[in-house]
């Protein structure tokens, strides 16, 4: 098999984590090769433009004011951003009623969650007081024990397990949920638009920033269309195999989602705790849809386009119209069981189910968009889930300490390994910088 050459570090994956790791390593004067399976950079950031120029972010798209690494990147790469439209009333469907503010009993459940999350250190959730018990019960069982009315539990379960962890409340442990809340600084910054993680969007889409980061790497650093298939390693070096050939490097940063890191063939086999961990981090199942209209008709009715539903196929909607777009966009999210059931349906039936939900919220016009665009990240060979991967119940307190532990010359990055803003672009960048720092110290 051909050998492309030797380098100091191979980074697998050109998402935000891999690109940040490569950037930091190149700044250290190291020779780096970024090998990326897809013919593009950005990973879970993917922007498409309709023929008339309407921008759709099919993957990640928002950043918030507390995400400092992303703010630095935006500044450094001179990328323009704009706010998420926020004028008008939100619609919250709750217990058969429609209200504009989060009902007090649901807010109380979120407050209780925040109180518990404050005791969970996001860098070592397994050491939190009561961690074993919290890891051994599902978020659904904790919700049931709050004594809150069923509608409040349903809404919080769908917003938190679904909207944040992209799973159902029966799939995630209480500890995983508390970790995620602690990692993002609380439910308010996580769930919020203005002042929260959904405050700002990228002009030209989130993929554009990834492309700018890639363009900043030295020529020849980035190798697209090169999936890492196998990694042979000794305590001091590694050989990374791709379909086109192999790279020898002193260190490797694996910046790919855990489910895909587990599919690479390692020789020798990964240590049991690392291998076990990778088997316990399934990716989420969220489904993001875009309905494109001639105009943002909901604004005339005084509505912001934001909705949160305790029932129905969609849990959330948002006005996703870019400021200078020729047309208007309502984006919807399905999570957990609803997202799985929608995938069982034929595309036309699924589209109808989503549009019926939008019609019930925003009126007849919502049922007849000019375009309807969906993108299934579960079907993507090089992602296999959405938004991110999470530890299953019981895994934090058993396998969790292996999350960022290097294996010989192999270092682990990717948003799933982040301490802060785990699951977000911000977490991906943090993880890339952290892995690069580990490599720098180890050489």
Ligand X SMILES: Cc1cc2nc3c(=O)[nH]c(=O)nc-3n(C[C@H](O)[C@H](O)[C@H](O)COP(=O)(O)OP(=O)(O)OC[C@H]3O[C@@H](n4cnc5c(N)ncnc54)[C@H](O)[C@@H]3O)c2cc1C
Q: Which residues bind ligand X (CB under 6 A)?
A: 12-18, 35-38, 43-45, 59-62, 227-228, 255-257, 260, 264, 288, 377, 382-383, 386-388, 414-415, 423-425, 428
Please tell me the distance from the alpha carbon of residue 4 to that of residue 35, in angstroms, as a whole number: 12
Burial of residue 293, with CB atoms counted within 10 A of its CB: 0-12 exposed, 13-18 middle, 19 or more buried: buried
**Nearest distance, CB of residue 164 and ligand X, angstroms:** 11
Q: In angstroms, give the least distance from the CB of 95 to ligand X.
A: 28
Closer residue to ligand X in complex, CB, 37/361: 37
- Tell whether residue 416 is among the known ligand binding residues: yes
Q: Report helix angle 68-76 to 425-442, nearest 10.
A: 90
Do residues 4 and 35 touch, judged by C-beta distance below 8 A?
no
Based on CB atoms, which residue is closest to ligand X, 61 or 138?
Answer: 61
Q: Given the complex with ligand X, which of 94 and 425 has the nearer CB atom?
A: 425
Judge contact between 335 and 286, C-beta under 8 A.
Answer: yes
Query: CA 34, CA 11: separation in Å to the nearest integer?
Result: 5
**Residue 42: CB minimum distance to ligand X, A:** 7
Find out whether 389 and 416 touch, Cβ atoms under 8 Å: yes
Nearest distance, CB of residue 251 and ligand X, angstroms: 16
How far apart are CB 255 and ligand X at their closest, in Å?
5
Q: How far apart, in whole angstroms, are the C-alpha atoms of residue 202 and residue 198?
A: 11
Residue closer to ligand X by CB (options 202, 293) is 202
Residue 438 among known ligand-binding residues: no
Local structure of residue 161 (DSSP, 8 states): I
Instruction: Report the nearest approach of ligand X to the CB of residue 302 (Å).
Output: 26
Using the CB atoms, write b or e for 172-210: b if 16+ within 10 Å. bbbbbbbbbbbbbbbbebbbebeebbbbbbbebbbbbbb
The residue among 12 and 131 lying less far from ligand X, judged by its C-beta, is 12
Nearest approach, Cβ of residue 76 and ligand X (Å): 17
Q: Tokens 């099919």 belong to which residue?
A: 58
Q: What is the H or E stretch that residue 316 is in?
A: strand 316-319
Contacts (Cβ under 8 Å, ≥6 apart) of 317 = 305, 306, 307, 330, 331, 332, 333, 358, 361
If the CB atoms of residues 382 and 433 are measured against ligand X, the closer one turns out to be: 382
- Output b/e per residue, 214-224; b: 16+ Cβ within 10 A: beebeeebbbe
Cβ-based nearer residue to ligand X, 387 or 399: 387
Q: Is the CB of 205 or the CB of 400 nearer to ligand X?
A: 205
Q: Kindly list the distances between the CA atom of residue 270 and the CA atoms of 154, 391, 408, 442, in Å, as whole numbers in the listed order.
A: 40, 18, 10, 19
Taking the complex as a whole, the smallest distance from the CB of residue 128 to ligand X amounts, in Å, to: 23
Does residue 333 have a known ligand-binding role? yes
Check if the beta carbon of residue 367 is closer than 8 Å to that of residue 355.
Answer: yes
Closest CA to 427 of 4, 9, 3, 16: 16
Asked whether 156 and 106 are in contact (CB, 8 A), the reply is yes
Query: Which parts are annotated binding residues for substrate?
Result: 333
Residues of the binding site for FAD: 36-37, 228, 416
Binding site: what residues are annotated? 36-37, 228, 333, 416
């Amino acid at each position: 098999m051909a050998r492309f050459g030797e380098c100091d570090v191979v980074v697998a994956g050109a998402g935000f984590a891999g690109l940040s790791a490569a950037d930091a390593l190149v700044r250290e004067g190291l020779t780096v090769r970024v090998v990326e399976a897809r013919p593009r950079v950005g990973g879970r950031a993917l922007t498409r433009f309709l023929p008339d120029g309407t921008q759709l972010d099919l993957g990640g798209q928002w950043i918030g004011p507390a995400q400092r690494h992303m703010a630095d990147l935006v500044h450094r790469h001179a990328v323009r951003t704009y706010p998420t439209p926020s004028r008008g009333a939100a619609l919250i469907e709750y217990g058969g009623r429609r209200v504009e503010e989060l009902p007090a009993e649901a807010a109380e459940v979120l407050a209780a969650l925040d109180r518990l999350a404050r005791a969970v250190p996001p860098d070592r959730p397994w050491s939190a007081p009561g961690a074993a018990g919290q890891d051994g019960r599902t978020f659904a069982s904790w919700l049931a024990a709050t004594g809150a009315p069923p509608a409040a539990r349903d809404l919080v379960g769908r917003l938190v397990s679904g909207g944040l962890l992209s799973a159902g409340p029966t799939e995630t442990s209480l500890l995983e949920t508390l970790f995620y809340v602690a990692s993002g600084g609380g439910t308010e910054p996580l769930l919020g638009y203005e002042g929260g993680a959904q405050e700002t969007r990228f002009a030209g889409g989130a993929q554009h920033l990834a492309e700018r980061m890639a363009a900043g790497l030295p020529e020849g650093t980035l190798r697209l269309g090169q999936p890492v298939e196998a990694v042979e390693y000794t305590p001091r070096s590694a050989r990374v195999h791709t379909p086109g050939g192999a790279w020898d490097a002193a260190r490797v940063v694996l910046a790919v989602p855990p489910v895909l890191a587990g599919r690479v063939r390692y020789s020798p086999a990964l240590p049991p705790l690392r291998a076990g961990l990778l088997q316990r981090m399934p990716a989420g199942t969220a489904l993001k849809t875009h309905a494109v209209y001639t105009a943002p008709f909901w604004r005339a009715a005084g509505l912001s386009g934001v909705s949160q539903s305790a029932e129905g196929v969609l849990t959330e909607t948002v006005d996703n119209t870019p400021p200078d777009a020729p047309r208007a966009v309502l984006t919807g999210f399905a999570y957990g069981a609803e997202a799985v059931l929608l995938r069982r349906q034929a595309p036309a039936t699924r589209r109808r189910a989503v549009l019926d939900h939008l019609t019930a919220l925003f009126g007849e016009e919502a049922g007849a968009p000019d375009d309807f665009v969906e993108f299934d990240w579960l079907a993507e060979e090089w992602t296999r889930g959405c938004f991110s991967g999470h530890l299953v119940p019981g895994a934090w307190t058993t396998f969790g300490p292996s999350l960022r532990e290097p294996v010989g010359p192999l270092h682990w990055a990717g948003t799933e390994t982040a301490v802060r803003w785990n699951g977000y672009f911000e977490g991906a960048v943090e993880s890339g910088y952290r892995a690069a720092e580990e490599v720098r110290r180890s050489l």
